[in-house]
């Protein structure tokens, strides 16, 4: 009797493990808000290109990247990206730089060789590691942010630069001039929100494919 119960228990466990494995294989990784990052922080290396976007391919450097449809070429000129709100402008450009060493030094991001002077940190997007330099400037009633993402691409450095401009104060927007107006939700929504206003940059870098 004990032998029969033991055999039955083993068979049940084998069946349970089989079901779990099959379900795991069939279920894709669930991402957070379409950012390509799974809950435990690991990057998802593959992503679908949004409908209506165009793909730029650099045959020499052997990489491709996609972005919202535009008349410009990001490798030759700055491409205007869709605005987050009125009076906010966003732009994008690509540049391939010579990599003097055989590979990026682990401390590259925080060395004098890194692109630009500003706040630096390493980030992982779409399975690629980037050095992010955040350069901020202000003038003529506007704040200018440059987000420079650099990564190694087949022995060269790919520099992806994103620019965003917005007024220094929400009160520069029509309908938000008075102090009391600042309590209006529509005025609060016009304030610069780095996470929300730069999400498109991360969505673009998510599509980078190195061949």
Distance of alpha carbon 49 from alpha carbon 203, whole angstroms: 9
Question: Can you tell me which residue has the tokens 């609060």?
Answer: 188
Tokens of 83: 């605005």
Residue 71: exposed, middle, or buried by beta-carbon count in 10 A (0-12, 13-18, 19+)?
exposed
φ, ψ of residue 159 in degrees (nearest 5): -105, 115
Per-residue pLDDT of the chain (211 residues; tens, 9 = 90+): 444 434 433 344 333 333 333 333 332 222 223 333 333 334 444 568 899 999 999 998 899 999 998 888 899 889 999 887 777 899 999 988 876 554 445 455 755 555 556 678 889 999 898 988 888 898 888 999 999 898 888 888 888 999 999 988 999 888 999 999 999 998 988 888 889 899 999 999 999 999 8
Distance of alpha carbon 103 from alpha carbon 155, whole angstroms: 7
φ, ψ of residue 9 in degrees (nearest 5): -65, -45
How does pLDDT run across 116-166, given as a tens digit for each residue? 566 788 899 998 989 888 888 988 889 999 998 988 888 888 889 999 999
Per-state percent for the chain, helix, strand, coil, to nearest 5: 25, 35, 40
Domain boundaries, the chain: 53-210
What CATH number is given for 53-210 in this structure? 2.60.120.1690
Q: Which residues contact 62 (CB under 8 A, 6 or more apart)?
A: 153, 154, 210, 211
């Amino acid at each position: 009797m004990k032998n029969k119960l033991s055999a039955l228990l083993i068979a049940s466990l084998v069946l349970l493990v089989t079901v779990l494995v099959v379900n795991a294989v069939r279920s894709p990784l669930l991402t957070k808000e379409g950012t390509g990052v799974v809950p435990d922080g690991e990057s998802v290396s593959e992503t679908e290109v949004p409908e209506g976007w165009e793909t730029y391919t650099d045959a020499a450097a052997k990489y491709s990247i996609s972005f919202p449809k535009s008349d410009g070429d990001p490798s030759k000129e700055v491409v205007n990206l869709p605005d987050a709100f009125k009076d906010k402008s966003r732009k994008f450009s690509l540049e391939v730089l010579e990599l003097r060493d055989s590979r990026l030094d682990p401390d590259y991001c925080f060395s004098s060789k890194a692109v630009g002077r500003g706040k630096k940190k390493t980030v992982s997007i779409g399975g690629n590691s980037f050095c992010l330099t955040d350069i901020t400037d202000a003038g003529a009633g506007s704040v200018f942010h440059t987000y420079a993402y650099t990564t190694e691409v087949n022995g060269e450095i790919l520099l992806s630069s994103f620019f965003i401009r917005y007024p220094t104060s929400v009160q520069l927007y029509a309908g938000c001039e008075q102090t009391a107006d600042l309590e209006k939700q529509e005025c609060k929504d016009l304030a610069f929100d780095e996470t929300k206003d730069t999400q498109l940059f991360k969505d673009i870098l998510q599509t980078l494919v190195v061949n």
